[in-house]
Structure 1
Amino acid sequence: MMFKKILFQLHWFIGITAGSVLMVIGLSGSVLSFREELLDLMNPADRIADHGSAVQLTPDQLLKKLQAADAQATLQDPSKASQPISQLTVFADPQQAARVTFAPASGAKRGETRYVDPFTATLLPPLQGDAFFNFVERLHRWLLLPKDLGQIFTGTFAMCMFFLALSGLYLRWPRRVFAWRNWLKLDFSLKGRSFLWGLHSVLGTWVLVVYLLLSVTGMYWALGWFKDGANHLLGETPHETAGPSVKKKTDRKKEPALSPSASTDTSAIDLSVTWQAFLNEANKIGGYSMARIRLPEQQGKPIQVFYLDAKPEHERARNEMLIQPDSGKILKLDRYADKSSGDRLLNSVYPLHMGTYFGLPGRIIIMLAGLGLPLFGITGWMLYLDRRRKKRTAKAQRAQLTHTSAPSTNAALETLLIAYASQSGQAESIALRTAAALQATKLTVSVQSLATLDAEKLRHFHRVLFVVSTFGEGEPPDSARRFSKQLAHTANAGLPHLQYGILALGDSHYEHFCGFAHTLEHWLATQNAHALFPTIEMDNGKAHENTAAMALWQSVLQKTLATTATSSFSMATPAKSSYQTWHLTERRLLNVGSHGAPIFHLELHFPAAEKPNWESGALVEISPRHAQERVDVFLQRFAKDGQTMVQHEGVARTLADALSRSALPHAIAADTIPQQITDHLQPLAARRYSVASTPEDGSIHLLVRQVGHEDGLGIASGWITEHAEIGQEISMRLLANPGFALIDNDAPCIFIGNGSGLAGLRGHLRARAHKQQHRNWLLFGERHQAHDFHYREEIEQWQKNGVLSVVDMAFSRDQEERVYVQDKLRAAADTVRKWLHHGAVIYVCGSLDGMAAGIDAVLVDILGEAGMDDLIAAGRYRRDVY
């Protein structure tokens, strides 16, 4: 795991530093891939005209005509005298221009190259656009730097591309290696970061081999030590090691430069015997396609001819002949076909780099790979910036904690500690806002989670504010479970010097409202600590009481803790997501024939083009309504007209509509007018459900089980699963669920749930599937496999494509002895330890009683109390239970 983290850091660091230059190299390489075709388009007059039955001039005739024309021009204007001809290149195809290269002028590294009509020996005009492509070639090969320095840079960037390709392969390596869809399938339905990651990783896999080939061949051309090593490894020395250039159709390739001191005198050289000797030998093997004649510096010296067979393997599959010009004797014949495999490979480096080794398809692939480098650079940057933005947000939130936490012992006595225990993140948010407001009054504040505190640490503070949530029936939040156990075992912590205040968050629908806060309050009292003010309770289920509690909290803090009477003390409340109108578009019964209560898959769409965003694991809070029949019975019972208009919650509605949104009164006086009824209505309690989808799905998916009571269906579940019509508006809002948030890396995840708890797990699994993070283990429990295997096709598909590494299903009533999900977990104890050893995070979603409690007990048996506490403190045990 550590190695993978280091490799990831290196991958993105090299990607964002070398990526821009690699984009330039890739684009310039793509331009050069079809250099000749582009030059042909830019120079249509350069094409060789059809000369009918005329015969091409031989090299000897071409040479003599060129020399005669040069001599004539020199007589007329001596300043127009050309340098001696050093090389002459001709082609068997009459439509290809011959080429003549002159010796370099004094002080020049390379002589001028001109193209020649092979029928008339007429010099063709210089190519339009050739200077541009020369510029692009220098950019591609040397980054416009001096050659020696430029080669070092381009070779280094080629090494970077090699590393990026291999490290990228390692970082995205799936567990199911042979599931090809994991490697190559790009899901265009994804959005946002998931789609960017898909582009970056999947397309990167498509061109991985191409980039490895380009980087290795690029290093061979640019880095001398790499070339020497490759040559030594293959035990060969390539015949020609001139740098890469382009040759196709008219073979407009730059020739190796002659020494500036060369002064070839070609005026008396006769090529007729040499050419005939060459043709005789070349025709023995089917002829030739290109021949380059390098003229000797002195008359009588052997003439060197490089040539390609009539159908060469590639443009560097060259043969070499050394011919005595006066006798036509072949002194040396070195054929490409006779070379060793290592020598042929070395001579193929350039065609491999350009793609010409594989013909036109290879050139197209190389061009597309070069054009793709900006795609990888841009998506890499966007992924990096998105990751950095998220880290910056997290760091900003932690900075306040880090800046004020863990003061020294002496300083702690003067520091106000704000301790929080949060299940959904609300208590933590309030603690941070409280700290910011108190810091503005010049107080020194430390904000810490109860997960990091114990009785001993509390002894070092004089004043503590507790902002604590209660979970379920009086239980502490998961993060505070260790602290709660310590309270029970700490008889006397010696805290008579401690002053404290408590803000208790809870839900009055539970019998033990704010139970954990009151347990904490009782313990502090037994330790002789002193309350700064009575405990303030906040009911999350009642918005108006929530606001009043926050106002009271702010008021008492200002009175008891503000350093001066004129201190500005303000706790800005972050904007809450407001209720929005969604449309119910699909409702499907999933457990037809089940002995359990009906469970439905629901889909809700947001009508606007710009849809809300959420993270997997989020919740929705639905504002339910009564069934119309129930409202009609109420209106009939009290003889009221439901169509009467009233003012309700600041909006004009019919009385029937207002009643459908409210708790129905048990009785009303006969003379009570509709507006008076409305004024005393209490809103129906909102209900929360786990989201079973991700933003990439384009809609909210819910998994809701109908709840039955003696007097009918539950208000919220009955409304959403039965009474609401398809297409009807549903008022709801999205809520973050940080205590159940998905980790932002690819560490293993164990997902455990039962019943409708599969919703929260499904949301996380779909998010992990979008990111192609495949180390996932699902343990799920229901009644019967035949009727209660929710999302069976999707789960089985995740098994096939590797999203789910392990699946354990517990169908309790499919055998005589009941088997539950906690039993499956206990049976896999060794595997649990192994996954946790590799950094796994456990997610539990479903019923609190039975399943969640059973999972807790099994994990304690497997890990021990201390191990379980450590898992919770590390944020690796996350629950969404109800």
Structure 2
Amino acid sequence: MKKLWFQLHWFVGITAGTVLMVIGLTGAILAFREQILDALNPGVRNVAVQDAPVLSPQQFAVAARALKPEARVTSIILYDTPGASARVGLAPPPGQRKGETIYLDPYTAAPLPALRGDEFFEWVEQLHRFLLMPRDQGKMFTGVLAFCLLGLTLTGLYLRWPRRLWDWRTWLTFDPRMKGRSFLWGLHSVAGTWVMLVFLVFTLSGVYWAFDPIRDMADGWMGTLRPPRAAAPAKPNAPKAARADRPKDEPADLTAAWDTFRKNAPGWHMAFLRPPEKARQPMQILWVASDAPHLRARSSMSIDPQSGELLKHELYADKPLGARFQSVIYPLHLGTYYGIAGQIIVFIAALALPGFGITGWMLYLKRRRQKRSARAERAQFTAGAPPAAGAEPVLMAYASQTGQAERVALQSAAALQKAGVAVHVQSLEELTPPLLGQYRRALFVASSFGEGEPPDSARRFSRLLQSAREEFQHLQYAVLALGDRNYSQFCGFGHTLDRRLAYMGARPLQPVIEVDNGDAGALARWGNALRGLMGGMADVADVALNAAAADSEYASWQLAGRKLLNPGSVGLPLYEITLTGVSADWRPGALVDIWPGHYDSDAAPRRYSLASLPQDGVMQLIVRQVRCERGLGLASGWLTARAAIGDEVRVRLVANPAFDAGPADAPAIYIGNGSGIAGLRAHLRARMQQGAQRNWLIFGERQREHDAVCADEIRAWHAHGYLPELDLVYSRDADGGGYVQDRMRDRSDAIRGWIAGGAVIYVCGSLQGMAGGVDDALAAILGREQLAQLAEAGRYRRDVY
């Protein structure tokens, strides 16, 4: 579900969001419209204060008719502020929607210059409100955009919803030292939180004004819905001569009405007068008190212009709550409800819209470029195709557990192809000895898994190669072996591959090159070897080989929680580490690379199994604190002891297809010990969400009293029927059942039954002792050949360390 909302957020963001950039930019321009116009037009809307009385509305009306005798005065706006000009509105000419506004000196009624820049702001307002479309179509279009902005706001809130709801730093801060995509995402998401409430005001008010049915419904709730106007009765056509000879009505004298207004509106700040078209009609005056909460807090009067009788007076404070709330909508939209501070907030929020559009597009394009680059890197090679007649392509084969060997193989192939060498790239997962025999030159980039074993994806090829009878006297090969010197069988699979190929008659082009944890020097030697092997082509050496991921692949998360899971244990402390950060998606069984300490540390990153799912809203790890002669382990010591809550953690998600979830309808057996509960817990949580109940957990630790990690969660799964089979083994307890592999042998019949029923086996935990013991136990229970077949079929999946 989260992935669906994520895709919807991006789709709306890069479509409607592009037009919303225009809405936001024009809204920012309009935020300080009045202040900008006053700055551009000194002496127009405000003149120098004089020691003289301000003229009356009647005098302004007479002066306006003298200036524009052909136009009718429709409104007069006066302010009690000293020096404020009178604003006289005139009826629009035929065919136009809006008439002219003229400004008159408040002391002499002399005409003042036209307001410069007003036409520009009128154009910007039309763009903002209607996108320069006809009014009805434009209003509907901007209303749809308001709905889109509402959707972006709410989905954005959902996508970054943190588990620690009341931690304000998670909501409102991010580390500006982040780089690349992490910086853009942090800026995008945190800024969205800052302006979220303002955006909700924008969207709700925009929808209110855009759609008449919604506005009528809202007005009905507020008690301000006006009844539809009755159609005016048709008038008989009079002879043209009679209409021409009919005398025009004289304009009403406003003096008496103004006197009545001043008596009944003490402390007025603004008065908006609507002179009647006919002298016998009442005059309407809308006015705002000097202590009004906002400029739309208008009271109203209806006055007989001939007698000055006050016909109706409705004070703003006496209006129903709904009417007062309705009057707040426009000031809230503009920000003027909170004065200059509100206008600044609205200005920043409006400018944020194009900012979101820009950062959203940058994130989208970066994501697209990364995907295109990965596709292009693979598409430029023909996977598994036999060499064409007369050609001498080189096979670049790789055995990868987590993608490192694949990355180096692709980089190597790209270097060769740049030098003009035909290259076929293929995973050992799909390679067979007969297919290998079709090549004269083959280069292998081989990772080792555990204690020198082949990665799970290469197990089939390794088994086939061991039993193959082909002879490879025509084949020249070279092996780049990736490994970790902390394991006793360093680069074991690479050496096994080298020995088997040599035994089958293939000729090594050079000795195996060993790479310890992505060692740059060893990779440089591989690059030089490529150049030598392919005729000393200089172009090959120009391409740097790097097994490590780029910094742009790391995102910034925060350490949000640290919980000791085994207090009092005789073993090393085991901690649940909780990280919060950017929205991300991963599969059960995924891994994370974590930089110890600050992200620019010179260390190598450390890898951990994820113990949570994206739906949990956080990343959770289960980390065993490592202690050695030099003190605490570099990464485990930092995560479990040295880092402070809230510190930045640089994280890179690593897909782990070899330990991915199998079919939801297949039974699953989960086997592990210690911190291996992390990978198993992520799988089990996913199974709970899917409603899959055919699950079996076999898990081992030292003592039930101190090492029953995740016990409450496991008990709940068992109680609700999601773990019909549960074996918890505690090796240090007298009645604990020994080790995991011992319990498996005790339950061998049940294991065979589950395997016969299509079960998938998942093993997660320490390589020393547990994983090897489990493998031997499974071989004893099922037979080594059947176990190999299960691995090849993806039904024996391991994440061991």
| TM-score class normalised by the smaller sequence | 0.5 to 0.7
SS of corresponding position for 1:348? helix
How big is the shift at 1:304?
1.8
SS of corresponding position for 1:122? coil
Partners of 1:538 and 1:178 in 2: how far apart? Answer: 55
TM-score (norm 1): 0.59
Q: 1:534 to 1:126 in 2, by over 3 A?
A: closer
- 1:329-348 equivalence runs, <5 A: 329-348=309-328
Match of 1:272 in 2: 255
How big is the shift at 1:314?
1.6
Q: Which one of 483, 496, 502 corresponds to residue 460 of structure 2? A: 483
- 1:64-75 equivalence runs, <5 A: 64-67=62-65, 69-70=66-67
Match of 1:824 in 2: 674
Partners of 1:16 and 1:531 in 2: how far apart? Answer: 58
The answer to whether the 8 A contact 2:90-2:100 is kept is: yes
Partners of 1:833 and 1:860 in 2: how far apart? Answer: 20
Match of 2:480 in 1: 505
Partners of 2:109 and 2:778 in 1: how far apart? Answer: 90
How big is the shift at 1:431?
6.7
Match of 1:49 in 2: 48
* 2:673 is aligned with 1:833: no
Letter in 1 for 2:426: Q
How big is the shift at 1:779?
0.9
Q: 1:431 to 1:105 in 2, by over 3 A?
A: closer
Partners of 1:516 and 1:614 in 2: how far apart? Answer: 23
The answer to whether the 8 A contact 1:470-1:477 is kept is: yes
Q: Which one of 129, 136, 148 corresponds to residue 148 of structure 1? A: 136
The answer to whether the 8 A contact 1:265-1:298 is kept is: no
* 2:744 is aligned with 1:777: no
How many pairs were matched up? 632
Match of 2:567 in 1: none
SS of corresponding position for 1:467? strand
Partners of 2:789 and 2:675 in 1: how far apart? Answer: 16
Partners of 1:18 and 1:93 in 2: how far apart? Answer: 44
Partners of 2:143 and 2:71 in 1: how far apart? Answer: 35
Partners of 1:442 and 1:802 in 2: how far apart? Answer: 48
Partners of 1:777 and 1:111 in 2: how far apart? Answer: 68
How big is the shift at 1:421?
1.4
Partners of 1:862 and 1:208 in 2: how far apart? Answer: 57
Letter in 1 for 2:48: A
Q: Which one of 433, 448, 466 corresponds to residue 471 of structure 1? A: 448
- 1:527-606 equivalence runs, <5 A: 537-540=511-514, 546=526, 550=530, 554=534, 573=540, 575=542, 577=544
C-alpha deviations, 1:46-99, integer Å up to 9, x for none? 2223221x32223234334544x44xxxxxxxxx63312122222232332221
Partners of 1:167 and 1:485 in 2: how far apart? Answer: 48
Match of 2:76 in 1: 88
Partners of 1:264 and 1:869 in 2: how far apart? Answer: 103
* 2:13 is aligned with 1:15: yes
Q: Which one of 453, 468, 477 corresponds to residue 430 of structure 2? A: 453
Q: What RMSD in Å do the two structures reach over aligned CA positions?
A: 5.4
* 2:352 is aligned with 1:372: yes
* 2:204 is aligned with 1:216: yes
SS of corresponding position for 1:311? coil
C-alpha deviations, 1:788-843, integer Å up to 9, x for none? 376767656867449799xxxxxxxxxxxxxxxx843256686343356699xxxx
Please, which runs of 5 or more residues in structure 2 have no aligned partner? 229-245, 516-520, 559-580, 651-671, 690-764, 780-786
SS of corresponding position for 1:364? helix
Letter in 2 for 1:615: A
SS of corresponding position for 2:380? helix
Q: Which one of 252, 273, 290 corresponds to residue 310 of structure 1? A: 290
Letter in 1 for 2:480: L
Q: 1:180 to 1:239 in 2, by over 3 A?
A: farther
Letter in 2 for 1:172: R
Partners of 2:85 and 2:104 in 1: how far apart? Answer: 6
Letter in 2 for 1:448: Q
SS of corresponding position for 2:115? coil
The answer to whether the 8 A contact 2:415-2:540 is kept is: no
Q: 1:484 to 1:265 in 2, by over 3 A?
A: farther
How big is the shift at 1:190?
2.5
Q: Which one of 261, 268, 274 corresponds to residue 294 of structure 1? A: 274
Q: Which one of 36, 39, 61 corresponds to residue 37 of structure 2? A: 39
Match of 1:60 in 2: 58
Please, which runs of 5 or more residues in structure 1 have no aligned partner? 71-79, 241-262, 556-568, 580-612, 619-692, 698-741, 806-821, 840-849
Match of 1:716 in 2: none
The answer to whether the 8 A contact 1:503-1:536 is kept is: yes
How big is the shift at 1:13?
3.1
Identity %: 36
The answer to whether the 8 A contact 1:116-1:124 is kept is: yes
How big is the shift at 1:521?
7.3
How big is the shift at 1:342?
2.8
The answer to whether the 8 A contact 1:826-1:858 is kept is: no
How big is the shift at 1:461?
7.9
Match of 2:26 in 1: 28
Letter in 2 for 1:282: A
The answer to whether the 8 A contact 1:85-1:100 is kept is: yes
The answer to whether the 8 A contact 1:416-1:461 is kept is: no
Q: Which one of 178, 188, 193 corresponds to residue 190 of structure 1? A: 178
Partners of 1:282 and 1:617 in 2: how far apart? Answer: 66
- 1:155-166 equivalence runs, <5 A: 155-166=143-154
SS of corresponding position for 1:30? helix
Q: 1:784 to 1:130 in 2, by over 3 A?
A: same
Q: 1:481 to 1:274 in 2, by over 3 A?
A: same
The answer to whether the 8 A contact 2:674-2:766 is kept is: no
The answer to whether the 8 A contact 1:273-1:326 is kept is: yes
How big is the shift at 1:362?
0.7
The answer to whether the 8 A contact 1:751-1:761 is kept is: no
The answer to whether the 8 A contact 1:617-1:761 is kept is: no
SS of corresponding position for 2:166? coil
SS of corresponding position for 2:625? strand
SS of corresponding position for 1:115? strand
Partners of 2:789 and 2:297 in 1: how far apart? Answer: 67
Letter in 1 for 2:674: K
The answer to whether the 8 A contact 1:505-1:537 is kept is: no
Q: 1:298 to 1:8 in 2, by over 3 A?
A: same
Partners of 1:554 and 1:160 in 2: how far apart? Answer: 57
Partners of 1:313 and 1:264 in 2: how far apart? Answer: 46
More deviation, 462-471/743-752: 743-752
The answer to whether the 8 A contact 1:32-1:133 is kept is: yes
TM-score (norm 2): 0.65
How big is the shift at 1:111?
1.7
Partners of 1:382 and 1:158 in 2: how far apart? Answer: 23
Letter in 2 for 1:48: V
C-alpha deviations, 1:286-336, integer Å up to 9, x for none? x42222221222221122222222322222222232223334444444433
How big is the shift at 1:428?
5.9
The answer to whether the 8 A contact 2:293-2:337 is kept is: yes
* 2:313 is aligned with 1:325: no
SS of corresponding position for 1:17? helix
Letter in 1 for 2:71: Q
Q: 1:14 to 1:780 in 2, by over 3 A?
A: same
SS of corresponding position for 2:161? coil
How big is the shift at 1:215?
2.1
Match of 2:398 in 1: 420
C-alpha deviations, 1:222-260, integer Å up to 9, x for none? 3334434433554542799xxxxxxxxxxxxxxxxxxxx
C-alpha deviations, 1:568-623, integer Å up to 9, x for none? x97953535599xxxxxxxxxxxxxxxxxxxxxxxxxxxxxxxxx973699xxxxx
